[in-house]
Structure 1
Amino acid sequence: MAEEDGVRRRDFINIAAVSAAGVAGVGVVIPLVSQMSASADVLAASSTEVDISAIQPGQAIKAVFRKQPVFVRNLTPKEIEEANAVDVASLRDPQTLAERTKEGKENWLITMGVCTHLGCVPLGAGEGENRGEFGGYFCPCHGSAYDTAARIRKGPAPKNLEVPAYEFTTDTVVKIG
């Protein structure tokens, strides 16, 4: 019977030691993992809301998303028609206007304002800026020209202006990111 008591005590000590080590391990891992998560200022910069109520057809504005410019453009029916008239197969980076906009909101084109060649900021979002020969955006650094759907048409840029993830939270507010 003395042997049975010894075995039981040893089992209890082993279980207690493993449990204490497990609790200590969790106590070390939780702070390590939580310090790797994004801080509040980083989470706040992960999305931005833009009020689009004042943007008239044919106008564009510049906003900031993740410290980079974003172009929000209200296309006119004529600009939409011009974009849809382009033979998509002839484009370097083939995309239709419908693929670059949200269904039911085809007049709102939202793109990153960073040229896909070397990262310059194209002109065309501000009043009176050069929109290039295709009426969209023009990158003054190396001459890339984008059409009204922000698709590359001429110059060294390899791709269209990037369309970030976005959603319409209301009819007049867009959440980017």
Structure 2
Amino acid sequence: MTEAVENTGAHGQEPSRRDFIYIATGGALAVGGAFTIWPFIDQMNPAADTLALASTEVNIGELEEGQEITVIYRERPHFVRRRTAAEVESARDVDIASLPDRDARNFNLGDGVPATDENRSAMTAEIADGVEIEDALRAALLVTSANCTHLGCVPTEGAGDYGAWFCPCHGSHYDTSGRIRRGPAPENLSVPVMTFTSASVLRLG
């Protein structure tokens, strides 16, 4: 007489029960691990006081026409220039179609905005409630990153073929609107988010 043999093969109940135990155990470990490492991940997020420091205030009231200063914003240098009327006019006369980079690269406006001088100047900055500031000053002010968009070198002021900025590292020429005109740099100098908090203070960030 042949005895019945219990089937514990691939389709038996025993492997299925064992698989369920493995899955349940693995899931519990994954959830427990997530709860364990979350405090460490959360610590890497910037605190509220750190975010508050992620802005820089510039006293534009002290800037004379034709003067430029370099400020640090988010640990990177930025040019702040009060351009002359001739510099503004020169920048406005440029044919956008002739530019290597036709995007304004202005964080106040977003992507795909034409690189006109007005779209790169402080005319695009927000103005806090109750603040009055002359359009001529807004148009004259230009704030850009001070790192060449090629390899990050800091361009020299008042140099190059366009009398604005020249990167000595690999020969990129920028015009008086901070737009790349000649050389290996692929993009215009970016314009940060700006807000006029008073008639003499421009906040970056």
TM-score by length of 1: 0.75
Which residue of 2 is the match for residue 164 of structure 1?
Answer: 192
Structure 2 residue runs without a partner (length 5+): 1-34, 103-114, 124-134
C-alpha distance in structure 2 between counterparts of 1:163 and 1:171, whole Å:
20
Is residue 2:117 matched to residue 1:109?
no
Is residue 2:120 matched to residue 1:100?
yes
C-alpha distance in structure 2 between counterparts of 1:37 and 1:115, whole Å:
29
Which residue of 1 is the match for residue 112 of structure 2?
Answer: none
Is residue 2:87 matched to residue 1:54?
no
* Structure 1 residue 131: Cα displacement: 1.9
C-alpha distance in structure 1 between counterparts of 2:95 and 2:50, whole Å:
41
* Structure 1 residue 43: Cα displacement: 1.9
Which residue of 1 is the match for residue 177 of structure 2?
Answer: 149
Contact persistence 1:45–1:65 (CA under 8 A): no
Which residue of 1 is the match for residue 43 of structure 2?
Answer: 35
SS at match of 1:174: strand
C-alpha distance in structure 2 between counterparts of 1:157 and 1:35, whole Å:
37
SS at match of 1:153: strand
Contact persistence 2:78–2:146 (CA under 8 A): yes
Residue identity matched to 1:48: T
C-alpha distance in structure 2 between counterparts of 1:142 and 1:49, whole Å:
32
Structure 1 residue runs without a partner (length 5+): 1-27, 125-129
TM-score by length of 2: 0.65
Q: Deviations over 1:153-174 (max 9, x none)?
A: 1110011101011111111111
SS at match of 2:62: coil
* Structure 1 residue 136: Cα displacement: 1.2
Over the aligned positions, Cα root-mean-square deviation in angstroms equals: 2.0
* Structure 1 residue 41: Cα displacement: 5.8
Which residue of 2 is the match for residue 134 of structure 1?
Answer: 162
Q: Which runs of 4+ in 1 moved over 6 A?
A: none
C-alpha distance in structure 2 between counterparts of 1:42 and 1:120, whole Å:
27
Identity across matched positions, percent? 47
